Amino acid sequence: MSTILLIDTENPDLKALADDLITHNYTVSVSSSGQEALQYLSHSHPDLILSEVELPDGNGLDLCRRIHSETQTHLIPFLFLSTEGDLETRIQSYGVGADDYLQKPVHLAELRAKIAAHMGRNERVRNFLVSLQVTKKRPKAPPTQVREPLPLTRSENKVFWEVAQGFTNRQIGDHLGISPRTVQTHITNMLNKLDVGNRAQLVRLAFEHGYMQSGQGSQPPRSYQDAD
């Protein structure tokens, strides 16, 4: 389940937004100030940050600049939601690394669509960077090397192949005719079976063990079980 960090929840609009996101299966973490947000980010890694421009203890633009200057957090999508709608503020927000700027009032359905789009794009970028890193480090396997079959069911095997190519849960669900929630269930099972901690490590495993090769049309890996 994706996690969104909301900053400055003293605003009743953001409280309503938090409730809406929770009902749509997002995990919502709340920080009441920029400093509290930085403390949260020191030990947690949300999938997206949504903040006001004006914060109780400072400027959201400065906070965005600082977050995107840190190696551990520079890829987290950062969206501003504010009543400040002047062109100069919007330009400044993009200059400090904001991924989007939405002026209130905003329709919640549109905001959720933007959140999903930014998360999906960020996930593809992360998977691509992982694949590049692994490709640089992984020695070429001998042409006759036979890959070990994975201890996955047929359905998990299909999802593994889709994840290795960088598709989001929603895209995988569309490809395989299943719900994003079912996709996540398969991914959770795969993480446990393959003893990896997260989705990025799953992609790394696919490259390191030869199930995916950069720039080549690899075939889906075999599984131990032919049927669920």
Assigned domain for 187 exists? yes
Indicate the pLDDT class of residue 124, thresholds 50, 70 and 90: confident
The pLDDT of 111-132, averaged and rounded, is 82
Q: How many angstroms separate the Cα of 147 from the Cα of each of 144, 206, 216?
A: 10, 11, 16
pLDDT at 196: 82
Beta bridge partners of 215: none
Radius of gyration of the chain (CA): 20
Q: Domain total for the chain?
A: 2
Q: Are residues 204 and 157 in the same domain?
A: yes
Please identify which residue in the block is written with the tokens 């605003």: 11
Closest CA to 66 of 81, 83, 82, 49: 49
Contacts of 217 by beta carbon, 8 Å cutoff, 6+ apart: none
Contacts of 143 by beta carbon, 8 Å cutoff, 6+ apart: none
pLDDT at 4: 93
Answer whether 39's CB lies under 8 Å from 16's CB.
Answer: no
Write out the residue range of the structural domain in which residue 156 sits: 140-208
| pTM given for the model | 0.57
Contacts of 98 by beta carbon, 8 Å cutoff, 6+ apart: 64, 78, 79, 80
Q: Are residues 11 and 101 in the same domain?
A: yes
Assigned domain for 27 exists? yes
Answer whether 51's CB lies under 8 Å from 33's CB.
Answer: no
- Quick one: tokens of 115? 């959140």
Q: Are residues 16 and 88 in the same domain?
A: yes
pLDDT at 57: 84
Q: Are residues 87 and 163 in the same domain?
A: no
- Quick one: tokens of 208? 């390191």
Look up residue 142 and give its DSSP letter.
P
Answer whether 190's CB lies under 8 Å from 160's CB.
Answer: yes
Q: Are residues 154 and 91 in the same domain?
A: no
The strand pair at 58-59 and 54-55 is best described as: antiparallel
Least confident stretch, 80-84, 134-138, 213-217: 213-217
> Last residue of a domain, which of 106, 124, 148?
106
Q: What CATH code is carried by the domain that includes residue 50?
A: 3.40.50.2300
